[in-house]
């Protein structure tokens, strides 16, 4: 019924049968707006967004509302996951105009793309202080016709603010360790000491702030404040309904302050970031529980999100055919029909299943009783009963109408997944997980790089849309973690190429830091910057971190200078708003911390080389650079100049440990390397 049926985006195709005369973003829509002097109604969302579906059902599928929209506006639909550059620009405008943002995002534009009114969800009838959507449309169109001067003034002011934000000057204050210490104090100040996390409802998993605390704790095991925040938050999240107690993996966020009732969509990026957090937590604390959650979350990604080609799908929908959450909730009657009486009793006690339920008459499973207490009531066989019951419930749930999956492969999010599988493979001693990361990297590099330029997404129709800053930075991050896990020089070479492109396409040569959209992209009203984590790593901060890692491996100081320019962009915010700048804090901690370069010269696969690598990984600190390669292999030294002029010692593989420009004598035994790393 409109122009969306042939689009690659699942979200756009979800609206193809709307009576709204939707256009995808592009010159056809913009030209019609200009030719007819008709404002643009821009609607931005994504395929797994619950409230996007609600507004679609209430307004966009309604013939009367659609008639109003078609009469008064040129209506444009944008998938924020495919065109994050457009989303970022108009989200800044929405925050400026409405004071808050979110999705669905509804923005009214002049024909030249300047926003003059914006909001998020609007209901079909006036309620909760919000106008009815059709009434709002009439009022906005009336203002455009009859009060054009006011509209032009508003649009001009918003455009001015967007331009000023893009021209943000860097801080001239020093980048020092006080920022890192103040950030921990700031996190402690907003920490929820009962439920974990930072702040109140709704609660999003603070993946990147937790990663900062975990990496700090790895080097400072006596930091009890960081330990307490990490342990409580990880424990409470994994015990809540936001964690899928049957199938593993995390929903996007909890609508309450207890991690109990989630919005049910599952995003690739959340699960990649959280799996890595739990694997890191296992490395730092030795907790078997953290290991379990990491492995279950990665297992969920393998079973339900991995595509046949090796990449990972973007998301699973918030809504099920049976209604919101219907796929995930349980009743006592269902347990009784599926499980033995002993299994049902153990599950009921462990996961808090009650006749009245906790969500629309059914129960979102959550850890309501410790395993020790369940054993006390059921007996020592309780853990086995629960494990068997989970398998039965998972199989039964698979027969229910399932939430839709968005199969597009997003470069940035797959970079985060590559990092998660690579790091978990090393941290958990699971080489099979490293193999998963390699397959994903092979697919992304083969399918999403077209004519030398990274694309944002891959669908059944092929690669589409230019990659943005986060695509380059997150994929570079994943490849660097994969190099660290495998020592295969091709991953480091690919990461270096992405780093060079990132500087060429996104760096601000005047003010420093990075823009979100590339210099070769579609000209929009302004070039925005992505400075805050939300909830994926901010592109500016992730760029800083990967360039610092590349500088350590290559010795090229110019890469580090670009990184420091990016950190100066957010120097003032890191300590004041640490929950939103975890990635920047990680990068700053990397820059300021004492770190070593460890070069292991030896043929890959040689047991002596492998023994040195194991010792290096055991003794390394989080930001140490590790390069491994055969000194007779030109590709290895070309990819990692850290290996240059590092020969074998008397024909045996050798390890070289350096700090800055000072290097120690090479060692050839794992015990010597362990002692070197412990004392140097």
Secondary structure of 596-631 in the HEC alphabet? CEEEEECCCCCHHHHHHHHHHHHHCCCCCEEEEECC
Of the candidates 414, 484, 423, the one whose C-alpha atom is nearest the C-alpha of residue 449 is 414
Pair 453, 467: CB distance under 8 Å: yes
3-state secondary structure of 45: strand
**Residue 380: its pLDDT value, please?**
97
DSSP state at residue 540: H
* 383, HSE (Cβ side, Cα atoms, 13 Å): 4
Is residue 182 classed exposed, middle or buried when 0-12, 13-18 and 19+ CB atoms within 10 A define those classes?
Answer: middle
What pLDDT was estimated at residue 320?
A: 84
Contact 338, 392 (CB under 8 A): yes
Please tell me the distance from the alpha carbon of residue 130 to that of residue 118, in angstroms, as a whole number. Answer: 12
Place of tokens 């991953």: 491
What is the pLDDT averaged over residues 508-514?
94
> How much is the pLDDT for 635?
86
Give the mean pLDDT of the chain.
95
Could you give the CA distance from residue 464 to residue 358 in angstroms, rounded to a whole number? 42
Average pLDDT over residues 674-678: 93
| Calpha distance 655→629 (Å, rounded) | 11
pLDDT tens readout for residues 198-219 = 999 999 999 999 999 999 999 9
DSSP letter assigned to residue 56? I
C-beta of residue 375 within 8 angstroms of C-beta of residue 342: no
First to last CA, the chain: 69
Residue 2 has pLDDT above 90, yes or no: no
Q: What is the CA radius of gyration of the chain?
A: 26
Whether the CB-CB separation of 411 and 455 falls below 8 Å is answered with: yes
Q: Are 183 and 141 in contact (CB under 8 A)?
A: no
Looking at residue 168, its pLDDT comes to 86
What's the pLDDT at 680?
A: 62
Stretch 399-422: mean pLDDT: 96
- How far is the C-alpha of 131 from the C-alpha of 642, rounded, in Å? 62
CB 100 within 8 A of CB 55: no
CA distance 655 to 666: 5
Contact 122, 133 (CB under 8 A): yes
pLDDT (mean) for 468-483: 98
Domains of the chain: 10-166 (3.40.30.10), 177-318+406-592 (1.50.10.10), 328-399 (no CATH), 597-679 (3.40.30)
Share of the chain above pLDDT 90, in %: 91
Q: Is the pLDDT of residue 661 over 80?
A: no
Return the HEC string of 371-386: HHHHHHHHCCCHHHHH
CA angle 345/346/351 to nearest 5° reads 105
Q: Are 495 and 546 in contact (CB under 8 A)?
A: yes
C-alpha of 103 from chain center: 17
Burial of 604 (0-12, 13-18, 19+ CB in 10 A): middle
Instruction: Give 296's contacts (C-beta < 8 A, 6+ positions apart).
Output: 248, 249
- Return the closest-CA partner of residue 367 out of 259, 240, 256: 240
Which sign does the torsion angle of CA 334, 340, 341, 342 carry? Answer: negative
Cα separation, 567 vs 550, whole angstroms: 16
Angstrom distance (rounded) from CA 670 to CA 615: 6
**pLDDT given for residue 647 in this prediction:** 92
- Angle 537-540-546 from CA coordinates, rounded to 5°: 75
Please tell me the predicted confidence (pLDDT) of residue 381: 96
For 510, the token pair is: 């005047």
Confidence of residue 165 (pLDDT cuts 50, 70, 90): confident
Mean pLDDT of 330-351: 97
Mean pLDDT score, 363-383? 97
Q: What is the dihedral of CA 102, 105, 106, 108, to 10 degrees?
A: 100
Alpha-carbon distance 37 to 326, whole Å?
Answer: 46
Q: 574 burial class (0-12, 13-18, 19+ CB within 10 angstroms)?
A: buried
pTM reported for the whole predicted model: 0.94
CA–CA distance, 660 with 596 (Å, rounded to integer): 7
Q: Is the confidence at residue 148, as pLDDT, over 80?
A: yes
Residue 162's alpha-carbon distances to 110, 525, 526, in angstroms, are 15, 8, 6
């Amino acid at each position: 019924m409109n122009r969306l049926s042939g689009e690659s985006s699942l979200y756009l195709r979800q609206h193809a049968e709307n009576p709204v005369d939707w256009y995808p973003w592009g010159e056809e829509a913009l030209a019609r707006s200009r030719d007819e002097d008709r404002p643009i109604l821009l609607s931005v969302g994504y395929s797994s967004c619950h409230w996007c579906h609600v507004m679609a059902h209430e307004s966009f599928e309604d013939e009367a509302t659609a008639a109003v929209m078609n009469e008064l506006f040129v209506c444009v639909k944008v998938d924020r996951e495919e065109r994050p550059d457009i989303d970022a620009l108009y989200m800044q405008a929405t925050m400026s105009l409405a004071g808050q943002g979110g999705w669905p995002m509804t923005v009214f534009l002049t024909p030249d793309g300047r926003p003059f009114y914006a909001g998020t969800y609007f209901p079909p009838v006036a309620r909760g202080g919000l106008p009815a959507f059709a009434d709002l449309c009439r009022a906005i169109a009336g203002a455009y016709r009859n009060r054009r001067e006011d509209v032009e003034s508003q649009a001009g002011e918003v455009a001015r603010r967007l331009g000023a934000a893009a021209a943000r000057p860097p801080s001239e204050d020093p980048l020092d360790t006080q920022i890192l210490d103040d950030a921990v104090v700031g996190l402690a100040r907003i920490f929820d000491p009962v439920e974990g996390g930072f702040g109140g409802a709704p609660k999003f998993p603070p993946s990147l702030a937790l990663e900062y605390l975990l990496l700090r704790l790895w080097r400072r095991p006596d930091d009890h404040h960081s330990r307490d925040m990490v342990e409580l938050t990880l424990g409470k999240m994994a015990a809540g309904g936001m964690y899928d107690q049957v199938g593993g993996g995390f929903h996007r966020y909890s609508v309450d302050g207890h991690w109990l009732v989630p919005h049910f969509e599952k995003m690739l990026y959340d699960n990649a970031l959280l799996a890595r957090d739990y694997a890191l937590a296992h490395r730092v604390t030795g907790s078997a529980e953290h290991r379990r959650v990491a492995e279950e979350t990665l297992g969920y990604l393998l079973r339900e999100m991995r595509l046949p080609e090796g990449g990972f799908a973007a998301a699973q929908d918030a809504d099920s055919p049976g209604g919101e959450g219907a796929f995930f909730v349980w009743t006592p009657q269902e347990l009784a029909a599926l499980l033995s009486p002993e299994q049902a009793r153990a599950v009921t006690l462990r996961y808090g299943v009650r006749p009245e339920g906790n969500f629309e008459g059914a129960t979102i499973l959550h850890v309501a009783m410790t395993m020790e207490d369940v054993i006390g009531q059921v007996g020592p066989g309780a853990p086995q009963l629960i494990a068997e019951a989970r398998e039965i419930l998972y199989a039964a749930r698979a027969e229910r109408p399932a939430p839709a999956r968005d199969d597009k492969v997003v470069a940035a999010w797959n970079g985060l997944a590559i990092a998660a599988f690579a790091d978990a493979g090393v941290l958990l001693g699971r080489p099979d997980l490293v193999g998963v990361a390699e397959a994903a990297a092979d697919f992304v590099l083969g399918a999403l790089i077209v004519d030398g330029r990274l694309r944002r997404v891959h669908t059944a129709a092929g690669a589409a849309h230019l990659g943005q800053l986060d695509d380059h930075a997150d994929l570079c991050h994943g490849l660097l973690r994969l190099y660290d896990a495998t020592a295969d020089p091709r991953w480091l070479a690919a990461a270096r190429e992405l780093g060079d492109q990132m500087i060429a396409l996104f760096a601000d040569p005047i003010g420093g830091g990075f823009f979100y959209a590339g210099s070769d992209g579609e000209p929009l009203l302004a070039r925005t910057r992505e400075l805050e984590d939300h909830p994926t790593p901010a592109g500016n901060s992730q760029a800083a971190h990967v360039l610092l890692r590349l500088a350590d491996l290559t010795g090229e100081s110019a890469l580090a200078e670009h990184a420091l320019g990016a950190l100066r962009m957010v120097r003032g915010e890191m300590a004041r708003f640490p929950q939103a700048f975890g990635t920047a804090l990680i990068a700053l901690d990397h820059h300021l911390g004492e770190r070593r370069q460890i070069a292991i010269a030896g043929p890959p696969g040689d047991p002596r080389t492998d023994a040195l690598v194991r010792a290096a990984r055991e003794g390394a600190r989080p930001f140490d650079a590790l390069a491994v390669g055969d000194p007779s292999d030109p590709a290895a030294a070309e990819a990692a100049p850290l290996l240059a002029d590092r020969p074998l010692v008397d024909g045996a593989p050798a390890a070289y440990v350096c700090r800055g420009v000072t290097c120690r004598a090479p060692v050839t035994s794992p015990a010597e390397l362990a002692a070197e790393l412990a004392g140097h």
